[in-house]
């Protein structure tokens, strides 16, 4: 089945569908060639319908949120990308808990918690990405992690069954979870927070955001932290100590503000970023005998 036929079938199903859509429009790195078909579901039924359609016909598909940690090849992605974001982002309060759909951004969710005077999400207010991606990677910052506040996760498994999993059974670890291990798809999340003074929550959130703005290269496109934290070290310090601050390949550069970030200074390609990653890994390994693993997800044809 070619992409033109797929496009017509998905349109007939009433889904929002794009053909040959440049992935650079959908990633924070602003890098990536076209995807054959992009679906943007607006409800859990549309998500389930899209995934089951692809699975039943053996069509390759990829689930993404808002693309905050993706590096997409310049050749793009073959098959179908299902983008779970705007349109699948509702949130509601249930006592001291928030239930949200997986497409809501962490910043929007944190603002909602603030308005409800609920504390626990301050650390996430400046993390780019959706709650679905945050659950998948157990996102964290400033001594907070998703595992600390997740009470339940609703997922779709490989048998097309919708399951509800307790937070303690999610296998959360540094930049990983059961979602990755079992190929699960996050549909919804319940967070357990607690009440506190609005002004205290707001002050904490603003302080963390100021610290991010000071230390992280928010003025350039990037995929967030490029490398995982090696045991006993900090990736950014290793890269800086190796003399790589500001190193460039084309328009890809080791950030001069924070060496743990590789940034796109305007027109970086996939190859620019990969060449720079390879250079950084080699120099750090040769100088310090430490292997840096990428935290960004590399996808595409």
Sign of CA dihedral 281, 249, 28, 182: negative
Compute CA distances 68 → 78, 157, 194, 253, whole Å: 20, 24, 28, 18
Q: What is the pTM of this model?
A: 0.89
For residue 273, what is the enclosing H or E element? helix 270-288
User: What gap in Å lies between CA 176 and CA 133, rounded to an integer?
Assistant: 10
Catalytic site residues? 175, 225, 295
What does the domain layout of the chain look like in residue ranges?
Answer: 3-83, 91-214, 217-299
Chain Cα centroid distance, residue 297: 9
CB 78 within 8 A of CB 37: no
Please give the C-alpha separations between residue 55 and each of 14, 36, 179, in angstroms, as whole numbers: 19, 17, 18
pLDDT, position 192: 97
- Residue 166 makes CB contacts below 8 A (sequence gap 6+) with 151, 152
What pLDDT score was predicted for residue 126? 82
Second CATH level (architecture) for the domain 3-83: 2-Layer Sandwich (3.30)
Give the C-alpha separation, 150 to 168, whole Å: 8
Q: How far apart, in Å, are the Cα atoms of 10 and each of 17, 19, 192? A: 7, 11, 37
Q: Up-side HSE of residue 4: CA atoms within 13 Å toward CB?
A: 0
CA 297/CA 226 separation, integer angstroms: 9
Q: Is the dihedral of CA 49, 53, 56, 62 positive or negative?
A: negative
CB 125 within 8 A of CB 224: no
CA-CA distances (angstroms) from residue 57 to 23, 28, 54, 61?
24, 31, 5, 11
DSSP state of 52: H
Angle of helix 106-115 relative to helix 198-215, nearest 10 degrees, comes to: 150
CATH architecture observed for domain 217-299: Alpha-Beta Complex (3.90)
pLDDT given for residue 173 in this prediction: 94
Task: For the chain, 301 residues long, give each residue's pLDDT as a single digit of tens.
Answer: 789 999 999 999 999 999 999 999 999 999 999 999 999 999 999 999 999 999 999 999 999 998 989 999 999 999 999 999 888 999 999 999 999 999 999 999 999 999 999 999 999 988 888 999 999 999 888 888 999 999 999 999 988 899 999 999 999 999 899 999 999 999 999 999 999 999 999 999 999 999 888 888 989 999 999 999 999 999 999 999 999 999 999 999 999 999 999 999 999 999 999 999 999 999 999 999 999 999 999 999 7
Q: What gap in Å lies between CA 209 and CA 203, rounded to an integer?
A: 10
Question: Which letter does DSSP use for residue 172 in this model?
Answer: -
Strand order in the sheet with 91-94: 91-94, 97-101, 185-192, 150-156, 162-166
pLDDT at 140: 86
Q: What is the CATH number of domain 91-214?
A: 3.30.465.10
The sign one gets for the Cα dihedral 259, 264, 268, 274 is positive
């Amino acid at each position: 089945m070619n992409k033109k036929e797929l496009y017509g079938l998905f349109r007939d199903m009433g889904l929002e569908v794009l053909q040959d859509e440049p992935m650079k429009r959908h990633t924070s790195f602003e890098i990536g060639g076209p995807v054959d078909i992009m679906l943007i579901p607006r409800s859990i039924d549309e998500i389930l319908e899209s995934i089951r359609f692809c699975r039943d016909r053996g069509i390759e598909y990829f689930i993404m949120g808002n693309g905050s940690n993706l590096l997409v090849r310049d050749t793009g992605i073959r098959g179908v990308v299902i983008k779970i974001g705007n349109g699948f982002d509702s949130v509601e309060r249930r006592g001291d808990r928030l239930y949200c759909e997986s497409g809501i951004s962490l910043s929007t969710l944190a603002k909602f918690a603030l308005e409800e005077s609920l504390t626990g999400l301050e650390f996430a207010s400046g993390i780019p990405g959706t709650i679905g991606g945050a659950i998948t990677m157990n996102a964290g910052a400033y001594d907070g992690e998703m595992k600390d506040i997740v009470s339940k996760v609703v997922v779709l498994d490989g048998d097309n069954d919708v399951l509800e999993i307790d937070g303690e059974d999610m296998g959360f670890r540094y930049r990983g979870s059961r979602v990755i291990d079992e190929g699960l798809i996050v549909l919804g999340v319940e967070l357990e927070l607690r009440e506190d003074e609005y002004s205290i929550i707001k002050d904490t959130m603003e302080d963390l955001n100021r610290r991010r703005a000071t230390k992280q290269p928010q003025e350039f496109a990037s995929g967030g932290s490029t490398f995982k934290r090696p045991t006993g070290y900090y990736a950014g310090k290793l890269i800086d100590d190796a003399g790589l601050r500001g190193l460039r390949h084309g328009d890809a550069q080791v950030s001069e503000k924070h060496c743990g970030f590789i940034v796109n200074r305007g027109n970086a390609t996939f190859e620019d970023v990969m060449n720079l990653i390879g250079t950084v890994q080699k120099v750090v390994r040769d100088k310090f005998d430490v292997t840096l693993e990428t935290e960004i997800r590399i996808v595409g044809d």
